[in-house]
Structure 1
Amino acid sequence: MDYTALYQQKLTTADEAVKVVKSGDWVDYGWCTGTPVALDKALAARMGELEDVNFRGGVLMRRPAVFDIPNAADKITWNSWHMSGIERKACMEGFGFYSALRYSEMPRWYRENVRHVNVAMIQVAPMDAHGWFSFGPQASHLKAVCDVSDVIIVEVNKYMPRCLGGFEDGIHISQVDMIVESDTEMPQMGAGGEPTEVDKAVAKLIVEEIPNGACLQLGIGGMPNTVGSMIAESDLKDLGVHTEMYVDAFVDISRAGKINGSKKAIDRGRQVFAFGAGTQKLYDFVNDNPECMSAPVSYTNDARTIAQIDNFISINNIVDVDLFGQMNAESAGIKQISGAGGQLDFVLGAYLSKGGKSFICCSSTFKKKDGTLESRIRPTLENGSVVTDARPCAHWFVTEYGKVNLKGLTAWQRAEALISVAHPDFREQLIQEAEKMRIWKRSNKR
């Protein structure tokens, strides 16, 4: 088959391609760095003639043009699998909503529950000689989306890195209905500012628990990034990577010569991830790099996959935790901040791994808008807050004041352990609340 000729047959303009969208349609906008740009602008331009268009996507790194159409809340609904700041704002504007699902379940959910998407619009890397378009650094669930879509439109971007995988990391031109070209530089996601003293203190407590030959999963945020920086500067060796999100920290650890994946029982020598976003150094590193393996999230985040890798170390952030050990990583009261993602999958999978450990970390306090300090360790979670990690699942919990292993502790032991790593200014208050809740023993040391 002449793929070049077929490419030309399917090549069209964004304005022409979006004419397939009808009122009431469900339109999938891909994921993270694969969210369309030219198609989005073209669709926004014709939204005046459409009603009730439902979008699915997540981890937006650019504000879509469809968000800025007049009376957006009357025209569109944005259904997010995992929220960025852009999507949090969409919620406040009345057209954004969170879709609760464990991230690992998404491919199966599309194939078995949805079974029908009207239009899929996904940004991809340029076609290779064999007719394949790489999904770039977001294999995630995109093949499953394409499998159930009536119309598949790819937006080819020369700046999108070509990520190698092995399965469900791209789509063949024979499966594509229309092709649009749009060269847009990759969105940048920095690691934030310089690590704070709190970040460093937490990271130090975690890094000393990591053995040579461990396999790493890092969440997004200042603390996991600081852990990554410390690992890059450490004496650790023979490390592996199997993670949901590939971030800049992995590039730094790789360049420091710490990662070779030689101890992994599966995917030996490869850094496995479901999606990635960062600075240009990340996109350059994963591009055409056989060491990096872009895989569907149903594989990367499955606890059964994770369990096969010895000494698995999972490191993630939370918003707050209560004295029962219930951990919230996704909301502030009723306000949705992010999503369930794969945190629970990695907490469970790491514990199933021989020698594995999961670390949930946070600063002991945060500052409210009025400047007052509040504890992240609470008697009970704030009304409406979501439990991301149920208390039977918790393993290690870390603040700048120490680390505690919560696994299997009774209610009073758990309360004591959590209070021991709370900010000293709040410990007495937490003890008093624990007493009221009947989870504090008089024999406990104050």
Structure 2
Amino acid sequence: MSYSGEYQKKLVTPEEAVRVVKSGDWVDYGAFAGQVVALDKALAARKEELFDVKIRAVTALRAPEVVKADPEAKHFIYNNWHFSGIDRKLHDKGLCYHIPLLYHELPGYYRRFADVDVAMLPVTPIDEHGFFNFGPQVSHAKATCEKSKVIILEVNPNIPRCLGGKEESIHISQVDYIVESNWTLPQIPSGAPTEIESKIASYIMPELEDGSCIQLGIGGMPNAVGQMIAQSDLNNLGLHSEMFTESMVDMVESGRVTGANKTTDRYKIAYTFAFGTQKTYNFLNNNPMCAIYPVDYVNDPFIIAQNEKVISINNCIEVDLTGQVCSESSGTRQISGTGGQFDFAFGSYRSKGGKSFIAMESTFKKGDELRSRIKPSLTPGAIVTTHRAIVHYLVTEYGIVNLKGKSTWERAEALISIAHPNVREDLIKEAENLGIWRRSNK
């Protein structure tokens, strides 16, 4: 069956498509590497005609034109579920608002609570069956479309076709308007890990074993683990990870990953979005080894836990002496978001033989001053991303400790043992003041 007639009827210019947006509307822009470009530019050009248009996105890799066109936010209110560096800077200027979430719940937020007047999503060209593929960012795309009053697709031939899974595509019969565009996906090189990141990764590597099922978060340290895995002699690893990373391509091509020991999606890589360079997107394109799913499947702790030996590896910003982890803010300043850290920390520990690792460099510099990321108490205003009872292993360049089952004084002792040596005595004094240090502590 040919869909060319229906396609041509729905094909409009970006300027024509955005005429459906009205003042007061909620507009969704897509997520990660898949956020509209031509439609964003066209909507920005309507600035003077519109007021109180509320926009949602996830981790912008380009500064939205609607924000650049409206530096006083009189016309467009930009909101984001998980900040990128771009979003963080906009937030600092009062031009971006954070939306808290548990990532595995996000499709449900749309289906149960969120208003969506217009959904604008980038997709691959139409296939012979009349379907457009969402590319490497399924996440909550289908739930957004289900809730939206109007659906506009921005067709881009550069988007890789990512096989499902489920909810990875939408049929032309469900679409209101189509625009055509041609832009290159943002390239996110992984970069070489630092010496400290490699040291941290070296503490995690011995905890992995043949048949482990891996999740890697965003950042240099998880990427360092991925590179070490690719160079290891581990066998029959699985991948079940919200994010597919460039180092995972190396893991697969080195022969480390087969998925043979997985319970869910056996022999396949399950993920919900991807970041990387063209190397990553080329690997994912039409690759039957990869299965992209909505996030309420990939990040569901009870799905994660069905696999054995799940290894979850993520970063954090700071931790207090009782084990509360902040991974998304610096005091009151929003840095990123909860993302899937809680989902995988909880799900991996429920897995038979599973382990969760939260890692950080022990210190950071503020000006010329060296400051500890292990603190007596979290910075005022800091967000607790991962509850202290959920935290399993914490890792710095000075070691690795298990917090499960430990009392507050045992936690303080363990965390101080992996703090920078220059701050340990001060942390001991603070632990004494907090009543979580015993004379018998080391």
Q: Structures share a fold, TM > 0.5?
A: yes
Partner of 1:418: 415
SS at match of 1:393: coil
Bigger Cα displacement from structure 2, 2-11 vs 431-440: 2-11
- Matching of residue 273 in structure 1 with residue 268 in structure 2: no
Task: Using the TM superposition, give the Cα deviation of residue 67 of structure 1 relative to its aligned residue in structure 2, in angstroms.
Answer: 1.2
CA shift digits 1:233-282 (9 cap, x unpaired): 00011011000111101001111111110000110011110111111100
Give the ranges of 4+ consecutive aligned residues of structure 1 lying more than 6 Å apart after TM superposition.
Answer: none
- Distance across 2 between alignment mates of 1:42 and 1:285: 32
SS at match of 1:392: coil
Partner of 1:431: 428
- Matching of residue 124 in structure 1 with residue 103 in structure 2: no
- Distance across 1 between alignment mates of 2:147 and 2:181: 25
Partner of 1:174: 173
Partner of 2:46: 46
Query: Which runs of no fewer than 5 residues in structure 2 stay unpaired?
Result: none
1:273–1:295 contact (8 Å) kept in structure 2? yes
SS at match of 2:228: helix
Q: How does 1:315-330 map to 2 (within 5 A)?
A: 315-330=313-328
**Aligned match of 1:394 in 381, 391, 398?**
391
- Distance across 1 between alignment mates of 2:146 and 2:282: 29
SS at match of 2:94: coil
- Distance across 2 between alignment mates of 1:199 and 1:166: 33
Partner of 1:161: 160
SS at match of 1:208: helix
**Aligned match of 1:356 in 354, 357, 360?**
354
Task: Using the TM superposition, give the Cα deviation of residue 3 of structure 1 relative to its aligned residue in structure 2, in angstroms.
Answer: 1.2
- Distance across 2 between alignment mates of 1:348 and 1:200: 25
CA shift digits 1:89-115 (9 cap, x unpaired): 11122121100010110101100112x
Partner of 2:138: 139
2:34–2:185 contact (8 Å) kept in structure 1? no
- Distance across 1 between alignment mates of 2:393 and 2:109: 31
Amino acid at match of 2:11: L
**Aligned match of 1:336 in 330, 334, 337?**
334
Amino acid at match of 1:183: N
Task: Using the TM superposition, give the Cα deviation of residue 195 of structure 1 relative to its aligned residue in structure 2, in angstroms.
Answer: 1.7
Amino acid at match of 2:81: W
Amino acid at match of 1:147: E
Query: Which runs of no fewer than 5 residues in structure 1 stay unpaired?
Result: none
Partner of 2:186: 187
1:333–1:382 contact (8 Å) kept in structure 2? yes
1:76–1:95 contact (8 Å) kept in structure 2? no
Amino acid at match of 2:365: K
Task: Using the TM superposition, give the Cα deviation of residue 45 of structure 1 relative to its aligned residue in structure 2, in angstroms.
Answer: 0.6
CA-based RMSD of the aligned residues comes to 0.8
TM-score, normalised to structure 1's length?
Answer: 0.98
CA shift digits 1:394-436 (9 cap, x unpaired): 1011001110000010000000000000010010000000000
2:121–2:153 contact (8 Å) kept in structure 1? yes
Partner of 1:10: 10
Partner of 2:76: 76
Partner of 2:104: 104
Partner of 2:311: 313
TM-score, normalised to structure 2's length?
Answer: 0.99
Partner of 1:56: 56
1:344–1:388 contact (8 Å) kept in structure 2? yes
Partner of 1:233: 231
